[in-house]
Structure 1
């Protein structure tokens, strides 16, 4: 399994040796293909940047995505309470099956009410957000003291219309912007080795295998992107490249 820096829609790729992990014996090549990018993204932002650990709590937006579903599994493995949002009741149910502590359909329920109700007003320690600007205000309301919001995407937009900086100051909160793609090879190598160390047993047992939504041939890459854009998938969409 390898973390690629781009150009992975190919029969052969060249990657840095530090970005490679051995495929566990019980895993398929398809599962290996869906593991690295999503898992390392979740690991970097929740654990290394967010500082999550056993006994802490994390709010994960987009629990049905590849990153979101892996984030749920990683947090469950380390005894972290998770609040997970998804866009349908079916996805919410699958998030529970994946190991989420609490779920809500963001189209019909209020995340602030859920988080503050279940935490008795304390809020969460870390928020992983791929939506961006539209969620800024509600994220601050859900965050606990000294909490961190880690932004990994801007699916809903990049410019926030309003936000109460008083909440940010009062909670001593941190807003972190994060991307994995433009990190140095050495940073990525260290990240891979840290993941291998911290989740060795979970990988061997298969506890953090990725959820595979659909496998399509490389020639159907357009269909894969359309499925992702429709937000009907749960987990990873894999393009199966025939060997040379």
Structure 2
């Protein structure tokens, strides 16, 4: 089985680029195994050099995963050391956004793979929640990006006329903003639940500096 006709060799054996005109700051590389094509996208700032060591680490991690079960199902995330990342996520079928038209019609499957952190995604989520979380992650294809931890919160206090009684998803920046506002509210209570299900409860007894540090560490727990 061959790649599409205009695919060109990439620096790492077994990998290809879809065309020779692929921009360095918007790199797409492909790897074929049997009738499956795995694709990885990497974005960098215009004019910035490609992070070669980081890219090599991710490509090696993908190859290791392909030799140990691969990327099953329409979506998922698996623990896999990949440089500064500790997991690999994937989307396939109609869920993927890369690699449209990059495979032969006889290819059975095209999979979009991306490095991630275990504090960001849960393979046990239902499809809509998983896809929404992936699409809500900023700079998903930037190999230098910071983690985007998944958090849920409840919130009560005079500073917030509309309390959050039931667990609601919130990015880390929003949780920190709420915590900052609650430092001036002696009635305020903020509860933060991370991806592992552990709950952190913060109230007026906790100084703001300690809140910010505690929430960030709690969010990134893996």
> Does the pair score TM above 0.5?
no
Question: TM-score, length-normalised on structure 2?
Answer: 0.27
More helix by proportion, 1 or 2?
A: 1
Question: TM-score, length-normalised on structure 1?
Answer: 0.25
From the CA coordinates, give the structure whose radius of gyration is larger: 2
More strand by proportion, 1 or 2?
A: 2
